[in-house]
């Protein structure tokens, strides 16, 4: 026989309880206070409403105030998020215009390897620079190697994707020739080969 689960869900929050409760109080309070008196008489609620009108009005005002505060906070949070996104986008735009050869070489690896996520050394100066300017972002999977040092997985940020193209990264527009390929291989970051060796040893 299946046992009845009476435990309180761990994800249950105070806001998750108060918000629907406030909405119900608003609805019921508005109905009781603003419906025609004839309807209240027909439902035999007129005496009850008349007796508790101050309390119903107080509960209605409290629920309206609570929902209003939540709505204001939501609008404020969205405005802050939008402004922060615009500021980050401006920083990314400025940084993309000033990429140095080593930063371009690192970003080209996403295109050369055809990968959305790359494992990169966390302590590398170029990685840190691109991370601080919101060009790339860490997605986790941190590892610590005795030889190479700490690594983590990174991807190109959503802010930088529309700014990075073949022209910006100095990639050939058409099919690459053997000379183009050799030049790209020479300009690849040194840690790419080191990471490949570390992964072989780890395997």
Longest C-alpha distance within the chain, in Å? 93
What helix, strand, coil percent values describe the chain, rounded to 5? 60, 10, 25
**Do 37 and 130 belong together in one domain?**
no
113 and 188 assigned to the same domain:
yes
Q: Do both 106 and 198 map to the same domain?
A: yes
In tens digits, the chain (203 residues) has pLDDT values of 445 454 444 555 666 778 888 888 888 888 888 888 887 778 777 787 788 888 888 988 999 998 899 999 999 999 999 999 999 999 999 999 999 999 999 999 898 888 899 999 998 999 999 999 999 999 988 888 656 678 899 999 999 998 998 889 888 776 777 777 777 777 788 777 666 554 544 44
Total domain count, the chain: 2
Per the CB < 8 A criterion, the answer to whether 133 and 95 are in contact is yes
Domain end among 32, 62, 87: 87
C-alpha of 46 from chain center? 51
Domain boundary residue among 87, 112, 136?
A: 87
- Say if 7 falls within a structural domain: no
Contact 29, 67 (CB under 8 A): no
Is 0.95 surpassed by the pTM of this model? no
Among residues 60, 87, 114, the one where a domain terminates is: 87
Does residue 8 fall inside a structural domain? no
Can you say how many angstroms the Cα of residue 165 is from the centroid of all Cα atoms in its chain?
24
Regarding whether 105 and 58 lie in a shared domain, the answer is: no
| DSSP state for residue 51 in the 8-state scheme | H
Answer whether residue 4 is part of any domain: no
pLDDT of residue 3: 53
- Structural domain includes residue 46: yes
Helix, strand, or coil (residue 196):
helix
Domain residues for 149? Answer: 101-202
Domain contains 6: no
Q: Are residues 73 and 105 in the same domain?
A: no
* Sign of CA pseudo-dihedral 62, 67, 73, 79: negative
Residues 184 and 107 occupy one common structural domain: yes
Q: What is the DSSP string of 59-114?
A: HHHHHHHHHHHHHHHHHHHHHHHHHHHHHHHHHHHHHHHT--HHHHHHHHHHHHTT
């Amino acid at each position: 026989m299946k046992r009845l689960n009476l435990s309180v869900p761990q994800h249950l929050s105070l806001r998750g309880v108060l918000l629907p409760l406030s909405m119900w109080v608003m609805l019921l309070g508005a109905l009781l206070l603003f419906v025609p008196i004839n309807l209240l008489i027909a439902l035999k609620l007129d005496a009850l409403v008349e007796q508790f009108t101050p309390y119903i009005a107080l509960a209605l005002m409290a629920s309206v105030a609570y929902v209003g505060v939540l709505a204001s906070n939501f609008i404020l949070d969205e405005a802050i998020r939008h402004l922060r996104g615009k500021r980050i986008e401006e920083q990314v735009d400025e940084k993309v215009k000033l990429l140095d050869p080593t930063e371009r070489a690192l970003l080209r690896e996403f295109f050369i390897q055809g990968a959305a996520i790359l494992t990169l050394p966390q302590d590398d100066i170029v990685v840190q620079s691109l991370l601080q300017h919101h060009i790339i972002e860490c997605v986790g999977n941190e590892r610590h190697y005795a030889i190479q040092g700490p690594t983590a997985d990174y991807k190109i940020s959503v802010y930088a994707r529309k700014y990075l193209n073949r022209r910006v990264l100095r990639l050939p527009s058409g099919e690459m020739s053997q000379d183009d390929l050799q030049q790209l291989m020479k300009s690849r970051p040194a840690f790419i080969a080191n990471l490949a060796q570390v992964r072989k040893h780890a395997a």
